[in-house]
Amino acid sequence: MTAFIGILLVAVVAGVFGSMLGVGGGIIMVPVLSLAFGVPVKAAIATSIVCVIATSSVAQSSFAARGMTNMRLGMFLEVATTVGALAGGITAVLIDGRVLQACFAVLLFYVSWQMGRRRHDVVPVEGPVMPSAYFDPAEGREIRYGVHGLATGFTLSLVAGNVSGLLGVGGGAFKVPVMNLLMGVPLKATIATSNLMIGVTAATSAVIFYGRGYVDPRWAVPAALGILVGARLGPRLAIHLPARVLVVVFEVVLIVFGVLMLLRALQVGI
Amino acid sequence: MKQSPPHEMDAVERMVNRVLGAGVAVSVAFMLAGVVLVVARGGGLPPHAPSFRELVPGLGTADPAAYLSTGLLVLIATPFARVAGSVIVFALERDRRYVALTAVVLLVMCAGVLLGRAG
């Protein structure tokens, strides 16, 4: 019962951060479950994938109500991410847990470095491809933009989907930089659109994990229930905070958990 | 902070919100029922998830594991329903390109299901 409440509380926090950043909360759940609760890494990944689905489904209503989700962009890139995730979900049951953790840590550092290189949000450029607009309360104005670099974005989304299936991070940590830095989508629209997409990617992998018996209700149920609470708060923060604050939070979260995961992969006693 | 003007949702946005909202509600109902059954019977959460074919009989015998896992499976199934719903909405709007794109997504997701079971 202690573990139940503990995991539930951690999941509330994961739900807030995951939905605020469009990454789904897997980034927090995998290391915490394996480090603090001793959950075997594959079961931890399975649980985090369930968390990603919950975050995506719950947070979406807040983002869509604001018109921040670019539905057509999301559904286009989902073609790439689902194909990638299918390959990743199969790979994860074949690869050693420590290797997965080391890969996870390295990827977290890489993404953090990418975000840190550019502390401000992209300047929105209007264009003919999937044009969209939303009202940004932090700036007090409507943001209009078009999508750029569709081919590059599609290709890298294949990779993001594969990472998601492999590591249970929902791929959001990679979809956000791809859409924001390479496709010119403003950060808040990126977060909302990534949040929509990660549910689909994660669901594909989740079925595979369930079939292999890794979706254990002892961990997945309290985690999912906690996410339901956290993922209602996160979008409010994402909508109202200035974009550059979100960039900094994104970086810090990635670095902290990258370090934790690396230590675990190296089996330094924590 | 300034209040934003209300956003007018289109047919796709409305469908997505309805499907996701309903999926979450049903999932939570099953999981909470499972938690209540665990508390009522005493002894902690079941350590193993029932297989797909054990689920329905388990629901009939009020097995907590069956309720908890059904809740988790409904949650996992919700994005599938959302994509299926997108295919339908785009078909009604006669947007052939997006009918094709979302249908491919649904097919790949279903391939994931089949491969997961094959192991």
Residue A89 touches chain B, beta carbons under 8 Å: yes
Shortest CA distance to B76 belongs to which of A84, A168, A199, A85?
A199
Q: Which phi and psi (to 5°) does residue A134 adopt?
A: -150, 160
The residue-averaged pLDDT of A115-120 equals 74
Q: Which of residues 54-83 of B touch A (CB under 8 A)?
A: 65, 68-69, 71-73, 75-80, 82-83
pLDDT at B26: 98
pLDDT one-digit tens code per residue, B24-65: 999 999 999 999 999 998 877 777 778 888 888 889 888 899
pLDDT at A19: 94
What percent of chain A has pLDDT above 90? 44
**pLDDT over 80 at A83, yes or no:** yes
Residue B37 touches chain A, beta carbons under 8 Å: no
What percent of chain B has pLDDT above 90? 61
The residue-averaged pLDDT of A96-105 equals 76
A221 falls in which pLDDT band (50, 70, 90)? Answer: very high
**pLDDT-wise least confident of A120-124, A218-222, B112-116:** B112-116
**Out of A4, A60, A224, closest to residue B16 by CB:** A60
A259 falls in which pLDDT band (50, 70, 90)? Answer: confident
Q: Do B48 and A216 touch (CB under 8 A)?
A: yes
pLDDT at B53: 83
Pairwise CA distance, residues B67 & B60, whole Å: 10
pLDDT one-digit tens code per residue, A40-75: 988 998 998 899 999 999 999 999 989 999 999 999
Q: Do B119 and A1 touch (CB under 8 A)?
A: no
Pairwise CA distance, residues A156 & A173, whole Å: 12
CA dihedral A52, A40, A221, A107 (to 10 degrees): -10
**Out of A78, A204, A220, closest to residue B112 by CB:** A204
A6 falls in which pLDDT band (50, 70, 90)? Answer: very high
pLDDT at B1: 47
**pLDDT over 50 at A269, yes or no:** no
Q: Do B75 and A50 touch (CB under 8 A)?
A: yes
**pLDDT over 70 at B118, yes or no:** no
Q: Do A199 and B4 touch (CB under 8 A)?
A: no
Tell me which chain A residue has its CA closest to the CA of residue B20. A57
pLDDT at B119: 38
Alpha helices in chain A (DSSP H): 2-21, 26-36, 41-65, 71-92, 97-116, 150-167, 172-177, 183, 187-211, 217-240, 243-265
pLDDT at A105: 82
pLDDT at A92: 66
Residue B85 touches chain A, beta carbons under 8 Å: no
Instruction: Name residues whose C-beta falls within 8 Å of residue B93's C-beta, 6 or more positions apart in sequence.
Output: B11
The residue-averaged pLDDT of A145-163 equals 88
Q: Which of residues 134-173 of A touch B (CB under 8 A)?
A: 134-135, 137-138, 140
Shortest CA distance to A147 belongs to which of A127, A161, A166?
A127
Chain A nearest-CA distance from B76, in A, is 5
A82 falls in which pLDDT band (50, 70, 90)? Answer: confident
ipTM for the whole complex: 0.91
pLDDT one-digit tens code per residue, A9-41: 999 999 998 999 998 877 678 878 988 999 998
Residue A229 touches chain B, beta carbons under 8 Å: no
**pLDDT over 60 at B2, yes or no:** no
Q: Do B115 and A208 touch (CB under 8 A)?
A: yes
Q: Tell me the pLDDT of chain A averaged across its residues.
A: 86
B42 burial level (CB within 10 Å; 0-12, 13-18, 19+): exposed
More confident residue, A55 or A114: A55
Shortest CA distance to A40 belongs to which of A98, A90, A89?
A98
Neighbours of B57 (CB within 10 A): 11
Q: Do B17 and A65 touch (CB under 8 A)?
A: yes
Residue A63 touches chain B, beta carbons under 8 Å: no
Query: Which of the residue ranges A176-185, B10-19, B107-116 has the most confident prediction, judged by mean pLDDT?
Result: B10-19
Chain B nearest-CA distance from A86, in A, is 6
